[in-house]
Amino acid sequence: MGANTTNPILIRAVGAVIALFVARFLYRGYVQRSRVRALKAQGIPVLPHSALFGHLRVLGDWRAENPADANFYSFHTWLIKNCRRYFPDLDFPPPVVYLDLWPVEMPLAMVYDPVAASQFAQAPSLPKLALAKDFLVPLTSGLDIVSNEGAEWKTWRSRFNPGFSQRNLMAMLPELIEEVSIFIAQLEGLAGGGGKWGPVFQLEEKTTNLTFDIICRAAVGMRLNEQIRPESGPLKLALLDQIRLMSLGANAARALPLGRMPWHNAAARRNNKVLRDLLMPQIQNKLHTDTNESQVKTIVDLAIKYIDKDDPNATREKPNAAFVDRLIANLKAFLFAGHDTTAATICFMIKLLQDNPECLAKLRAEHDAVLGPDPSRAADVLSESPHLLYLLPYTLGAIKETLRLNPLAATLREAPAGFSLTAPGSSIRYPVGGWGVWLSAPGVARNPSYWPRPDEFLPERWMVPEGDPLHPVNNSAWAPFSIGPRNCIGMELALIELRIVSVLVARRFDIEEAWDDWDMQKQTKATPHAKIDGQRLYSAGDGIVHPKDGMPVHVRLREHVPAV
């Protein structure tokens, strides 16, 4: 009898909870959809919006017209090319493009104007979006400088700045050149004999091993030798698996980004234990070794100097546990950020130089003029005269153009209620409070109001004087490392790496994409849909950008003829 009376009550209670959940879900959807309609009512241009689907149909258009593995980052350039389709009165997207993807993803306000971008990333510099911080939690538990805010961020950023300074990195130049020289030897081994093309291989695999070796050496002085290992070592394997777990659900382009599941937590804990067990001895060694002024100092060496600042009782023999935890968390963040994007950028730089042979010829001529006519001597010349690395303006221009056309990092900020953005030439105020504010680096980098001939690869634009028609109009429009006080701390290291690679590679090798050989090796045939803008190479992957299929290439040795 009691059971019979209890069951209906229980059923009604469960039904009430479900009804409450559904009502709350629908109400949130109604509120979000209403916000976009309110924007439109104010005369703010918005993408075609559905009361039921929001902007999911626009995302569906992008999804249908691009390869299944295209990275969401390419949505920006796709929207630029299809601007008239969605904004009939505009040749370029408005300064702020609202994207209502509820319930798949949080609403985004994508900023395509550098002046508007500076209003939230520079002055003021708004807090990082919780979603962006959550991405790093499996790796750093939120203890890294990307996730930190306020005084905590300022303190730890200042502790790591000396390690990433130009002065300190240039002191490491011989070590960095040594690692790139191993990369050169790898390419030589893959080149065909007698000036012929060698077998197809994935360039990104080689560049990833290179940048991983470099960041580990610069950060803690570890020589991992990933470039010459027959198989990846435990530190790299653990980090790559952790990045895989971090990327789960990070691509809003997928129809159902499920995200990280509870059973992934055990794998994340195992990976973190491996990383800590391998990094901790390196830190302990640094703690017990007081480097003198003449020694090359790693990023950790310089950060350890602050060991007693948080705890006056802490010493090198008995460090504060919280200090060490933050040190390890930031090291893991540096290892992640310091290898992935630079490895991909090397690939895209080689691609752009391949597609623009006249630019490659100018770059090679600059290397002949500054470093001497013998490419095999370039590493020695740089080691003996490091300042020459900064006397290569065309090379730097090629690097900056690569990063402009293929920016790989993103900054997402959280705007308070009532916060809005403005752009030159318009009286419209764009409300962004409650939206994830995303600096669209691909968007600002191709905005024709700031970039003459925005879609062209023109290293010369970085060499012309101010006032020249080709000169960049606004510094904030170049944002591959973000802008403002929270820009990427590793920018100088990345630019140095890219300079060294270009100097040691460009005159010794021809490198070309080898898709036919790749298809033959994989026994597949590409479809017309497996391209973006007619190119087999595009930005692929969930979350982190990677060149499609790791950029299959082949290599041949050049018979160098110095430029006259």
Q: Which residues are annotated as a binding site for heme?
A: 488
CA 231 to chain CA centroid, Å, is: 25
Decide: helix, strand or coil at residue 516: helix
Rounded to an integer, what distance in angstroms lies between the CA atom of residue 85 and that of residue 79?
Answer: 9
Rounded to an integer, what distance in angstroms lies between the CA atom of residue 192 and that of residue 479?
Answer: 39
DSSP state, residue 170: H
Q: Which of 256, 250, 268, 240 is nearest to 131 (CA)?
A: 250
Rounded to an integer, what distance in angstroms lies between the CA atom of residue 159 and that of residue 156?
Answer: 5
Rounded to an integer, what distance in angstroms lies between the CA atom of residue 215 and that of residue 176?
Answer: 9
Rounded to an integer, what distance in angstroms lies between the CA atom of residue 144 and that of residue 146?
Answer: 5
Q: Residue 230 class from Cβ within 10 Å (0-12 exposed, 13-18 middle, 19+ buried)?
A: exposed
Q: Which of 514, 489, 425 is nearest to 218 (CA)?
A: 489
Rounded to an integer, what distance in angstroms lies between the CA atom of residue 217 and that of residue 172?
Answer: 9
Token pair listed for 417: 């209620």
Burial 170-184 (b: 16+ CB within 10 A, else e): eebbeebbbbbbebb
Q: Which of 327, 324, 271 is nearest to 138 (CA)?
A: 271
Q: Name, in order, each residue with C-beta under 8 angstroms of 129's C-beta and a sequence gap of 6 or more.
A: 412, 413, 414, 436, 437
Spatial contact of 173 and 502, defined as CB atoms under 8 Å apart? no
Token pair listed for 212: 């991983």
Fill in the amino acid letter for 382.
L
Spatial contact of 219 and 298, defined as CB atoms under 8 Å apart? yes
Spatial contact of 443 and 108, defined as CB atoms under 8 Å apart? no
Q: Residue 15 class from Cβ within 10 Å (0-12 exposed, 13-18 middle, 19+ buried)?
A: exposed
Q: Which of 41, 48, 44 is nearest to 100 (CA)?
A: 48
Binding residues: 488
Q: Which of 553, 139, 103, 97 is nearest to 331 (CA)?
A: 139
Rounded to an integer, what distance in angstroms lies between the CA atom of residue 230 and that of residue 205?
Answer: 13
Fill in the amino acid letter for 351.
K
